[in-house]
Amino acid sequence: MIIKSYIGHRLRESVIHMKRLYSSRKLPSVMILSSMHGSGLSGDLRGSALAKELQRLGWRTIFVPSQLELHQRQRLLRLERPDVIMMQQSRHPYNHPKYYPGSPVVFDVDDADIYDPRCTNKVIECCHGSVAVTVGNRFLNELLREHNPNVHVIWTGSYLPVNWTKKWPKVGGRVVSWANSGASVKSAESELLQEVLCILAKTTDFEFRIYGVENQKTAETNFSSLKKMKIKIRSYRLMSYKKLARHLRSSDVGLAPICEEVPFSRGKSFGKVLTYLAAQVPVVASHAVDYPLFFSNGENGMIIRNNDINKWADSIRKLLEEPLYSQFLVENATRDFRQRLTIKKSAELFDIVLKEAINRA
């Protein structure tokens, strides 16, 4: 009797499992191949986190981590038989349509890798071998349309919640922050900020925090003019995505410079701007890339052309000195962030492109 009961129980479990498997097989399926992975990087925001959100939209998703070898990827492809492959960037040696013949590929690009001589040919080949290309901004749209006419702009979204209450005005010193994964290297952006902050320092006391720099010495070397003016510089190494957002909460201003004279910079999406928004930090950004399509100057942020460094300094000063104005900007930015720059929003757009790719195959 016990044996019969046990067998019956296992049989019912098997039937339920097969029904679930059959049901999942009827869902549209996508295999996402990441080039790199890390908290807050594109392999996360346009890869693994996107896969989870697509599941909520009725997809069966298979996220392939970057460490899998080619034979492992191809074996997984044979087992899962996805309807479409989404290839996130071309930096991984096995992210190329030639390795997945017979499967429609959507090629996702969120950096201007085509300007890197080591990547140029591969990016073009991936465009040619894909049924569609998704990009992070309008410049990449124009740039890659030459190699594939079916290009779609999808801004990178964030899963960071804005579920805490910021107190206004903030108690404490005035903090201006710059979060940039390449902050250890002198760049056109760091030179612009140094010029702006030196003007600001003539009239305003503040602390300058740099996130993403390897050590304090490098930070002080890259901003030596600020150090000479006795402005306090505090450096932080790269930290996890969620930790960075929490840490930025104590900042009064978040800086987002982009110098478009550097070709690679023109491929940037919203990057660390997403962490400022989640941390409810008012943003001062360059009038560059797709920033003007999201930010409305004086309404949900400050957006300024790089050649007007005095206006940059004035905008930062205004936010440091007028907390109620900062609160106004942050409340509007939070509303727009929730509507336009979440993983949920980007997944809805990827959903459309991926289904079109299946139909075109």
pLDDT of residue 166: 82
Where is 76: in which H helix or E strand?
Answer: helix 70-80
Q: Is the peptide bond before 161 cis (omega within 30 degrees of 0)?
A: no
pLDDT tens per residue, range 298-314: 999 999 999 999 999 99
Question: CA 292 to CA 243: how far, in whole Å?
Answer: 28
pLDDT tens per residue, range 278-298: 999 999 999 999 999 999 999
Mean pLDDT (whole number) for 41-65: 93
Give the single-character DSSP code of 131.
S
Q: Is the pLDDT of residue 33 over 80?
A: yes
pLDDT tens per residue, range 233-256: 999 998 999 999 999 999 999 999
> What are the structural domains of the chain?
2-157+342-360 (3.40.50.2000), 175-340 (3.40.50.2000)
What value does the mean pLDDT of the chain take? 90
Question: CA 176 to CA 170: how far, in whole Å?
Answer: 13
Whole-Å CA distances, 247 to 27, 161, 241, 279, 359? 40, 14, 10, 8, 45
pLDDT of residue 51: 96
Q: Is the pLDDT of residue 320 over 90?
A: yes
pLDDT of residue 332: 98
Give the single-character DSSP code of 175.
E
Q: Where are the beta strands (DSSP E) in the chain?
A: 29-33, 60-64, 84-88, 105-109, 132-135, 151-153, 175-179, 207-211, 232-236, 253-256, 283-286, 302-304
pLDDT of residue 2: 35
Give the single-character DSSP code of 170.
P
pLDDT of residue 17: 38
Mean pLDDT (whole number) for 13-36: 64
pLDDT tens per residue, range 192-214: 999 999 999 999 999 999 999 99
Mean pLDDT (whole number) for 17-26: 47
Whole-Å CA distances, 313 to 52, 79, 329? 41, 57, 17
Per DSSP, helices labelled H in 165-272 are 188-201, 216-222, 224-228, 241-248
The better pLDDT of the pair 170, 130 is held by: 130
Burial class (CB in 10 A: 0-12, 13-18, 19+), 37: middle
Give the single-character DSSP code of 171.
P
